[in-house]
Each structure stands twice: as C-alpha cells, then as structure tokens.
Chain A
Amino acid sequence: MTIGIVGYGVYIPWCRVKLSDLAEAWGEKFPFPVEKTVPFWDEDTITMAAEAAQNAINHAGIDETEIGAIYFGTTTNPFLEIQGSSILKTMIEVKTDTLTVDLTDSARSSTLSMIACMDAIRSGSIKYGLVVGSDMLVGKPGSDLEYLASSGACALVMGRENLIAEVEGVASYGTEFSGRWRSETQTFPRMTMERFVREQGYIHHVVTAGTKLMEKLEKKPDDFKYAVFSQPDLTYPTLVARRLGLTMDQINPGMIGMSVGYTGSSSVLLALATVLDKAKPRERIMMISYDNGGSDAFSILTTENIEAKRQNIVEKYLKRKTYVDYNTYLRFNRVFEKLPG
C-alpha cells in the first residue's frame, strides 16, 4: 500500500534582511537580490514548528486526534533537556498517548523523520504521523555562514489515505564527514574550507544518493518534473543538477533559498512545499537532503487530490514581509543583548 503526504504547512517569519545590507555592514559587496528571514525576537524553533504543524493539519483536513506520532527534526532545539516535540504536542492538541520523537543534531533530521514516520505507518502502529522540520540558524557575525543562516519551519502530515503525493522510493547514503559543526559550548557553527565541503561533502553525497534513487526505481532524470535540494549555498543545487543530468527548468522552481536563506532542517522541506504549491497531478519530484556526510533521496509523485487541496501557502507567507536593518537582525537573533539599567 502506498504511503505519502496528506497535507503540508509552512511557517516563514515576517522580517527579512537583504544580504546586500548585511554585506554593507562589513564593508563588502553583495550584488544579488537575495534576502533571508529574521525571526521576531519572541520566536523559537518550537513556536515556528507549532504554526507550521497547525497549517499542515488544516491542509490535510484530518482530526488532530488521529495523529499517532510527532517527529520533530531540528538542530536548534531551545532546550537541551526538554523534548521539543512534547511541548509541540500540547500546542497542537493531539492525544496524550501520541508518540513524541525528537531527531536532532543534523539538518538532515527532517528527512530522517520522514523515513521513520513512513516506517511507523507501514508497520501499522500509527495511522497518521506528523513530521516537522524547524530551525533557527545564526551565523557568527562577519563569517561566511552568516550570509544564508536563517529561520523557517515546514510540517508534513503523512499517512495512507487521501494523499496529495505518494512517496515512491527512498535512497540514503552516508559517510563520516564533518564539514560544519557546533559543539555544546559553541554558540555559532564553524565550517572547514568551503571548497572541500562543496566537492567532497555536498556534491559527492547528494549525487550518490540521487543516482542510487534513480537506479533503485529505474528512472531517468527526464522522468522528474522537479528536483529540490537542501540549499546551504545557492550555487550548490546548480552544480549537483549538472552532475545528475537535470536541467535548470527542473531545479529553478524549488529555489526558495533566494527568498528565505538556508533554514537548516526545514530547508529541503520548504523547497518541497514550494514545488507542491505549483505541481500538477501525476508529476514526479526528486527531493534530496544533505547535512554533514549524509543524504536522503526521495521520489515523490503527486496525485489527483493536489488540485482540490491547493492553498498556495508558501506564496502567502512570502508575500507577508517587512525589511529590517542589520542592527535589528542582530538584536532579534540575540547576538547582542541589551543590559538592564
């Protein structure tokens, strides 16, 4: 029996900062029209996840009490010793016996959540599962990672009935690779040489996972109408596409990184949501996540229900925006705190 996506919801914060403003503060130039999201000062990973999850449940049109498990994928859980998904559970009113699972420490945790959720549905232990990817990344001021690190959340309701898109197959690939890391004592993430991360990290893993997926399902690059990737850098998907035999027409619709930046674990799910907003029935989407030496590739086929359930939710959130300056960006992200007195 097929398993897939019943509904999806996103949350994109209201404030944006233009990367040209950010570069100007450091005496640099950034001539491209790229912007990223800035969370309002009172937001955190869980509040963003709550709104995305509520949107997903509304879109799916199911009763909250039918959700059997919540899988919460994040790298920036506000608490080291409180489960984010258990707080999320009280906010979206699922039953008290709902399983709550946090998958953390990797931007790939959202797609790992999807795999875990699909396995639970396949085994018959739950009817519907909620997968949430939510992240609030902050780069060290002045560093390269500051440019795209941003915030956003995306949630998927997965199940067997009333699917808007079915998951045809999954392929995973992983090696040990530490390109970007943050220890418990570090506030900001660090990265090794960009070129090494790009070639040996992103491109190698994403291309291998994508090739494995196509071999497994016996599909060619032309069989996919869209392809979406994690976007830690806006040039990476282009480089990968060329090696996978995909064209720019296939990857351009999912490049939401131009408007929101790199949102960590929700990056690939937001790209998927953007494409699902536009997709017509019976169109195949390739989705590949990446973080630190691991990639999960999915082949997703939309169904006839997608037209009836169309909400254009990503567009609604992208339209609702205001620009803030770099100082406000630093204050809202709590890079600098005002002292009392």
Chain B
Amino acid sequence: MLTIIPICVSIGYSKSYRGDCMATAFPPYWRAIPGMHRLVGQKCKKCGKVNFPPRKNMICTYCGATEFDEVHISRRGKIVTYVVASRMPPGVIGPEAFAIIDTDDGARVSAWSTDCFPKDYGAKEGSPIKCDMPVELVIRVIGNPTPTPFYGFKFRPIME
C-alpha cells in the first residue's frame, strides 16, 4: 500500500512556469519547506513507518494512526523504479529521470534526477540510470523558470 505524492512535480513544474500562478504558487511551497529543504518526514508512533512528504491530514498512510514524530530521513537510498522524461517544460533542460527511491531508513521518496545524463545528450560519457542503483538526495533548484525560489531534493548517483 503505497501513496506517492510527487510534491516537487506539482509545485515545481506544473504550476511554477505558468506566470499567472505566481501569487498562489508560493504558499504551498512555503508549507512544504521542511520536507523540501531538510527532508523532514513523519514517523508513525504506532507502526514506525516514515511518511514522506509529511501528511497534511495527519493520518498515517500505512496504518491510519494519527500520532507522529518528526524525523529527518536519510539522504542515501536505492532506486525502486524510474521513468525517463524527454519532453520537458520550458526552462527545464532534459531528458531527466523521475524515480521512486527507498532511502536507507525505510522512507519512500520520489525525486527527479540530477548530475547524470539518463540519455546521451551532449555528454562525452553518459551515466545511465538503473533500478537498485545507489543514489543520494541533494538540494537543487526544481522550478527554475520561476521568479520565486523553488528549492528541493533531487537524486544523483552516489559519489565514491
């Protein structure tokens, strides 16, 4: 039973590049800052699983309990599954991979790729993405064409 809320997709890409939405795009981002800047998730007091991004309705996705502890989820994990997107919105230079990642401490995160070329486009050496590949989450600009700051986590292949 999994619920993945691609928070960076809904905030960073679909709303932000439409100029008229600027006034309304910032408040949801502001509420999501602990998750997007610091990877703060909710650990269920009953089942012990981590909900990320934090649930606004305060109900655990896994067991329905309503009491949580704030935790920082690990920045390292492995790719569960991914898709490569080739047609990107204006301002985003693609192709980029969008992946579901299981972090080392058991949380499930969805993020876009960075610091890798899912397909060869201009790079002399590519770095393809695979399932089970160890990755780390790093902070990047996720809504680049916007005049407001939109920072969030993206994943990159792990540094040796």
- A28-42 contact mask (Cβ, 8 Å, vs B): 1 or 0: 000000000000111
Measured as residues with beta carbon below 8 angstroms from the partner, the interface class of chain B is 20 to 34
Q: Tell me the smallest distance from the CB of B146 to a CB of chain A, in Å.
A: 11
**Contact mask B126-150 → A, CB, 8 Å, 1/0?**
0100000000001111101000010
Q: Is A305's CB within 8 Å of the partner chain B?
A: no
The reply on B11 being an interface residue by CB < 8 A is no
- B93 near A331 with CB under 8 A, answer yes
- B75 to A, closest residue via Cβ: A54
Q: Is A340 an interface residue (CB 8 A)?
A: yes
CB atoms of B38 and A93 under 8 A apart? yes
CB–CB A47/B139 < 8 A: yes
Contact flag A47-B141 (CB < 8 Å), given A40-B115, A87-B149, A337-B91: yes
The distance in angstroms between the C-alpha atoms of A324 and B122, with both chains bound, is 6
> Which residues of A288-341 are within 8 A (CB) of B?
316-317, 319-320, 322-325, 327-328, 331-332, 337-340
Indicate if B82 sits at the interface (CB-CB under 8 A): no
For residue B147, give the distance in angstroms from its CB to the closest CB of chain A.
9
Known: A87-B151, A331-B93. A42 touches B114 (CB 8 A): yes
Query: How many of chain A's residues have a CB under 8 angstroms from any CB in B?
Result: 34
- In the complex, what residues of B have CB within 8 A of residue A316's CB? 159-160
Q: Tell me the complex Cα distance, A44–B144, Å.
A: 10
When the two chains form their complex, are residues B123 and A328 in contact, meaning their CB atoms are under 8 A apart? Answer: yes
Interface of B (DSSP majority class):
loop
B141's nearest neighbour on chain A, judged by CB, is A42
B33 CB–A CB distance under 8 Å: yes
Minimal beta-carbon separation of B122 from chain A (angstroms): 4
B27 adjacent to chain A (CB < 8 Å): no
Q: Are B140 and A324 in contact (CB under 8 A)?
A: no
Within 8 Å of chain B (Cβ to Cβ): is A50?
yes
Give the complex CA separation of A332 and B144 in angstroms: 12
Q: Please judge, given known A-B contacts A82-B149, A91-B151, whether A43 and B141 are in contact too, CB under 8 Å.
A: yes
Residues of A with C-beta under 8 A to B56: none
Quick one: CB contact mask for B68-93 with A, threshold 8 Å, 1 for yes? 00000000000000000000011111
Residues of chain A with a CB closer than 8 A to B43's CB:
none
Residue B154 is within 8 A (CB to CB) of chain A in the complex: yes
* Least distance between B38 CB and chain A CB atoms (Å): 6
CB neighbours of B31 from chain A (8 A): none
Contacts of A90 in B (CB 8 A): 33, 37-38
Whether the pair B124, A325 counts as a contact (CB closer than 8 A) is: yes
- A47-B138, A51-B138, A328-B123 are known; give 13 further A-B pairs, CB within 8 A: A42-B114, A42-B144, A42-B154, A47-B139, A47-B151, A90-B33, A316-B159, A319-B160, A320-B160, A322-B124, A322-B127, A325-B124, A331-B93
Q: What are 11 of the A-B contact pairs (CB < 8 Å)? A: A14-B156, A15-B123, A40-B115, A42-B154, A51-B138, A51-B139, A90-B33, A91-B139, A322-B125, A339-B90, A340-B89
